[in-house]
Amino acid sequence: MADPVTLIISALAGGAAAAGKEVVSQAVKDAYVGLKKLIQSKFESKPMVSATLQTLEKKPKSPDIQGVVETTLLDVGADQDKEIQAQAEQLLAVLEKENLLPKTLYQAKVEGSGAVAQGPGAVATGAGGVAVGGHIQGNVTTGDKDQGKS
pLDDT mean values, one per 10 residues, the chain (150 residues): 86 92 90 97 95 95 94 96 97 92 63 66 66 70 62
**DSSP states along 44-104:** TT-HHHHHHHHHHHHSTT-HHHHHHHHHHHHHHTGGG-HHHHHHHHHHHHHHHHTT-SPPP
pTM above threshold 0.85: no
Q: How far apart are CA 4 and CA 33, in angstroms?
A: 19
What are the structural domain ranges in the chain? 4-97
Q: How far apart are CA 18 and CA 7, in angstroms?
A: 16
pLDDT of 52: 96
pLDDT of 46: 95
pLDDT of 67: 94
DSSP state of 2: -
